[in-house]
Amino acid sequence: MTKAPVTPERDIAASGPYALAVDAMGGDRAPDIVLAGLDLAADRHPKARILLIGDEALLRPALAKYPKAARLCDIRHAAASISMDMKPTAALRVRGSSMRMAMEAVAAGEACGVVSAGNSGAMLALAKIIVKALPGISRPAMIAVEPSARGDIVMLDLGANIACDARNLVEFAIMGEAFAQAALGLPSPTIGLLNVGSEELKGDDRLRQASERLRASPLAPQFHGFVEGHDITAGTTDVVVTDGFTGNVALKTGEGALKLAFSLLKRVFQTNLLTRLGYLLVKPGLERMREWIDPRRYNGALFVGLNGIVVKSHGGADGESFAAAVDVAMDAVTHHLNDKIRARLEQLGMGAPEPVAPAAAKAAPEPVS
């Protein structure tokens, strides 16, 4: 996988002085892990300008402890913040929250994207209202990079939409292709539609319709057809498309199974003196393996399909994982993720917005973390 060099200047010039607006108050250990993450990110994105939004009285002394982060950041004071357990409807009513002001900076063209480790339900609700969906996208979705036996893949929707129709799934395929190009550097990523069997007759009407539309579209050469649960970690396709309920369960089930494997392995190595010696002999390789599938390395889920880059870091993240979320946002900004999506939508004649049916909107009352 090769990537184009990171040149945030391109978008910064087009869109305002800041690459990213960062919500300094989101997450379980904000603002410390946010600043620690930006300090790490500063090495990888030395030219990125960052608008750091939060309680100035708290941030100014804290930032002094992270000199590399301080070089990148301008502080903007926000009087309020959104707590991790606040309901999205309540979060929408809080004026002047750090999360809201970060979204507003994107909407105003001051920044290309937002990163927050805050409440994901609030984040999606604010993003939809302030940053707004791209024309032609009826449902923004949550996407992230995941490990597989054949290298990294991307999967969506990871929980933004509980119920999805055929059109939503086609939109997800378009957004997934663009994100795989931006995040994995693949010119022509393959796409699979998650189902309970790979035969064309399996699944429900919604899946069959989405499959037919993709087969009849310019994406057809990249469309692999239906894939199953085991294809995700096998890396059968570069992009796995599914609804937000199934995607969320699959993501967490896969992570849980890897965790189970490691906990069993630990028991094996701790059996006796010989197995402990065995552990010492394979330790470097095991650590590389553990790092490779480390959820922290894969931190940073992007709400794709919005008029700006919106990235959610895990709420319990540490500095290293927050830095990974910043990488996701910077990749999307510098590789012009949204331009790629717009071009595909136009090519497929889907550029015009289609209003969400009330029944469908009602079926997805709550985004998930």
CA dist 106 and 127 (Å) reads: 10
Count of residues binding a copy of itself (CB under 8 A)? 67
CA dist 126 and 107 (Å) reads: 11
CA dist 189 and 173 (Å) reads: 10
Residue 141 β-bridge partners: 304
Q: How far is CA 87 from CA 91, 128, 277, 321, in A?
A: 6, 15, 51, 25
In terms of Cα–Cα distance, which of 127, 111, 110 is closest to 26? 127
Nearer to a copy of itself, 214 or 364 (CB): 364
Listed ranges 32-40, 96-104, 158-166, 349-357: which one lies at the site for a copy of itself (CB under 8 A) = 158-166
**Shortest CB 299 distance to a copy of itself, Å:** 16
Nearer to a copy of itself, 107 or 269 (CB): 269
**Shortest CB 363 distance to a copy of itself, Å:** 6
Among 75, 163, 360, 361, binds a copy of itself (CB under 8 A): 163
| C-alpha 276: how far from chain center | 38
279 near a copy of itself, judged by CB under 8 A: yes
How, if at all, do strands 18-23 and 111-116 pair?
parallel
Q: Phi and psi for 97 in degrees, rounded to 5?
A: -75, 155
**Shortest CB 336 distance to a copy of itself, Å:** 31
How many other CB atoms are found less than 10 A from the CB of residue 346?
A: 13
Among 286, 343, 356, 360, binds a copy of itself (CB under 8 A): 286
343 near a copy of itself, judged by CB under 8 A: no
Q: What is the contact mask toward a copy of itself in residues 50 to 79, using x (rule: CB under 8 A)?
A: ------------------------------
**Shortest CB 101 distance to a copy of itself, Å:** 27
**Shortest CB 123 distance to a copy of itself, Å:** 15
Q: Is 29 exposed, middle or buried (0-12, 13-18, 19+ CB in 10 A)?
A: middle
CA dist 38 and 322 (Å) reads: 8
Nearer to a copy of itself, 95 or 288 (CB): 288
Nearer to a copy of itself, 58 or 260 (CB): 260
**Shortest CB 259 distance to a copy of itself, Å:** 7
Q: What is the contact mask toward a copy of itself in residues 227 to 256, using x (rule: CB under 8 A)?
A: -xxxxxxx-------x-xxx-xxxxxxxxx
In terms of Cα–Cα distance, which of 251, 248, 25 is closest to 117? 25
Listed in order, strand segments (DSSP E) in 200-330 are: 223-227, 239-241, 301-304, 309-312
**Two tokens, residue 134:** 């791209």
Give, as ranges, the residues between 114 and 153 that touch a copy of itself (CB under 8 A).
147-149
Q: What is the contact mask toward a copy of itself in residues 189 to 228, using x (rule: CB under 8 A)?
A: -----x-xx---xxxx-----------------------x
Helix axes 319-334, 32-44, angle to 10 degrees: 50
93 near a copy of itself, judged by CB under 8 A: no
Q: Give the interface with a copy of itself as residue ranges (CB under 8 A).
A: 87, 147-149, 159, 162-163, 194, 196-197, 201-204, 228-234, 242, 244-246, 248-265, 267-269, 271, 274-275, 277-282, 285-286, 288-289, 292-293, 363-366, 368-369
